[in-house]
Amino acid sequence: MITIMGSMFLITGLLILPVRMIKNNITLLALQSLFLSLIAFLLGSKLGFNGQIIFIGFLTLVVKVFVLPFILLRLAKQLKADKELHPNAGPVVSIVAGISLAVLTYDYVVPVMLQDITSGEELLAAAISTILFGCFYVVSRRSVLNQVIGVIMMENGLFLSALAITGGMPLIIELGIFFDILVGVLVMGAMIYKISDRFQTLDIKKLNRLRG
């Protein structure tokens, strides 16, 4: 069951890459976070009803599935940003790149380089692939909103890898991370608002006027 959830997590991540409608991206991100929280619930119950992991899954559900997508959707609506106009990589390139990144992690990074680390259910590979997806996504998109989405995706991957390797970090640190990402998105939202206000665009290519 966890393996299936892990693959769903990976697939939603992969699907975000080619999609150009920002609303759909946000929905997919929420879906990915939902799978993440489900993985946490399942892991928690498998390890003999581990309260901490379940609590973390619950937090994920609240923050990442409901609050963050809500904020992002509202932002997208306010800024009338519904479509990534000029991605740096087209849908075909994106999907091919995504698949090759996944292959890289599944066939090389996790089995060869990280062979000492034992994690069940191939979760680690899914996590690392998602981190790389996030990186790629950030590189391939030009809209500021999409940068935020990419960052959250990387964060999801990091979260899952922590969960897969050690069964979650200490609670206080997890709380810190949640608070961090929540505040981060709020601040980034404010910044995006300012950017669009000042530059009349969300295209980060136009921001190089800031270069000294």
Partner 1 sequence: MNNASEVIGTVSLFLFAAGALLPYLFYRKRQLSLLIGCLAAASGSLMVMYLGFRGLLAPEPIYIRFGNILPGICLELLIDRLSGFFLLTISVIALLTSLYSIQYMSLYSRENLAWWSFCYNSFLLAMVLVVTVNNFLLFLIFWELMTLASYFLVTYSYKRKLVRKAGFVYLIMTHIGTVFIASAFFLMLGVGGGWDFAALASNSTGLLPVVKNLVFICALIGFGTKAGVVPLHIWLPQAHPAAPTNVSALMSGVMLKTAIYGMIRMIIDILGVGPAWWGGLLILLGAISAVSGVIYALMQEDLKRLLAFCSVENIGIILMGLGASLVFYSWSLPVPAAIALAAGLFHVLNHAIFKSLLFLCTGSIYYATHTKKIEQLGGLIKRMPFTAVLFLTGAISISAIPPFNGFASEYQTYLSLLTISYQQTSVLWSLGAILACVTLALTGALAAACFVKAFGISFLALPRSEKAEKAEEVPWSMTLSIAPLAILCLVLGIRPAPLINTLTKVSAQLIDGPEVPPLQVFNSNLALVLGLLILIFIGVTRLFGGYRERKTETWGCGIEHNVKMAYTAESYSQPIRRVYQPLLRPKRKVRTEFSERSYFNYRVYFKEHLGSNLREYLYKPIRKGIINISQKWQVIQSGNINWYLGYIFLTLILLLIFVTKG
Query: What is the binding site for partner 1 (CB under 8 A)?
Result: 88, 101, 104-105, 108-109, 113, 132, 135-136, 138-142, 147, 204-205, 207-208, 210-211
Phi and psi of 18, rounded to 5°?
-85, -15
Which are the contacts of 26, defined by CB distance < 8 A and separation ≥ 6?
69, 72, 73, 76, 149
Which one, 65 or 128, has the nearer CB to partner 1? 128
In the complex with partner 1, which residue's Cβ is closer, 71 or 135?
Answer: 135
- 116 near 65, Cβ under 8 Å? no
Q: Are 155 and 32 a contacting pair, CB within 8 Å?
A: no
* Smallest separation, CB 212 to partner 1 (Å): 9
Q: If residue 151 lies in a helix (H) or strand (E), which one and from where to where?
A: helix 144-166
Nearer to partner 1 among residue 66 and residue 108 (C-beta): 108
- Structure tokens given for 126: 């899914």
CB of 210 to partner 1, least distance (A): 8
Contact 68, 27 (CB under 8 A): no
CB atoms within 10 A of CB 94: 23
Q: Which residue, 30 or 127, has its beta carbon nearer to partner 1? A: 127
CB of 141 to partner 1, least distance (A): 8
How many CB atoms are located within 10 Å of the residue 185 CB?
22
CB of 164 to partner 1, least distance (A): 17
- CB-nearer residue toward partner 1: 78 or 88: 88
The distance of closest approach from Cβ of residue 65 to partner 1 in the complex, given in angstroms and rounded to an integer, is 26
